[in-house]
Amino acid sequence: MTSFMSFAEPIKKLLTRVVASHETHAKWLNTLSYLENCGARKIAACEHPTLVKEEMLKHAAEEFRHAHHLKRQIEKVSTKSMDTYSLALMLGGISSLHYLTVLDLKASRYLKRAGLTKNAIKEAAYLLVTYAIELRADELYRIYDDVLKNAGSKVAVKSILLEEKEHLNEMIEGLHKLPSGFVHAEQICAFEGDLCKKWILSINRTIQE
């Protein structure tokens, strides 16, 4: 298994603060919804016009569903309308807005330097970026689920956690088939770790403002 930069403790502290405030919690849910939607759109963008695997269709569909599910959870903590993903309605500012875009860009540049062709970069970037994100999602949703239970919240994310775990297993299987897959994954996970650290700091700053 590729090394992974865990932020379990800072995430737990952050989410404990987030869940304690209905307004902040609503913005957090909107932020997660945005990231899930962003992920779904990026998966769809990686699809070949005709040679689309069922796994990719399923993955994109589930990410879109996660985004919608999280939007629906907002009404359990707030009556405030959050119809858009404007920065004022999310946590983390630009760090949230460009999290996946920056990771995708860094991965693509890295793979280009590694000598992969344009088509190979697209397929490899999908596997590697998704792998790194699913590792983070597995950690984050697991902690979030525990925090919600401890707080007695009506918000539910267990179904998302289970599907993200399935996605992670699919990416691991794909990396076994990718030449030097786990070697590349080390670097992509390092990129993601740096981005996540900055993201957590940005969210903390947002809450304190």
What are the tens digits of pLDDT across the range 121-173?
988 999 999 999 999 999 999 999 999 999 999 999 999 998 888 889 999 99
123: left (phi over 0), alpha (psi -120 to 50) or beta: alpha
DSSP 114: T
pLDDT at 56 over 90: no
114 contacts 108 by C-beta, under 8 angstroms: no
How does residue 50 score in pLDDT terms, banded at 50, 70 and 90?
A: low
Task: Measure the CA–CA gap between 172 and 127, rounded to whole angstroms.
Answer: 9
The DSSP code for 64 is H
Asked which of 17-21, 66-70, 73-77, 160-164 is least confident by mean pLDDT, the reply is: 160-164
Nearest to 163 by CA among 27, 30, 19, 64: 64
- Confidence band for 48, pLDDT divided at 50, 70 and 90: low
Per-residue model confidence (pLDDT) at position 52 = 64
For 46-52, the CB contacts below 8 A with 24+ separation are 46/122, 46/123, 46/125, 46/126
Phi, psi of 51, rounded to the nearest 5 degrees: -90, 65
* pLDDT of the residue at 209: 66
Q: Classify residue 92 as left (phi > 0), alpha (psi -120 to 50) or beta.
A: left
Share in percent of the chain as helix, strand, coil (round to 5): 80, 0, 20
Q: Residue 124's pLDDT is what?
A: 94
Q: What is the pTM of this model?
A: 0.93
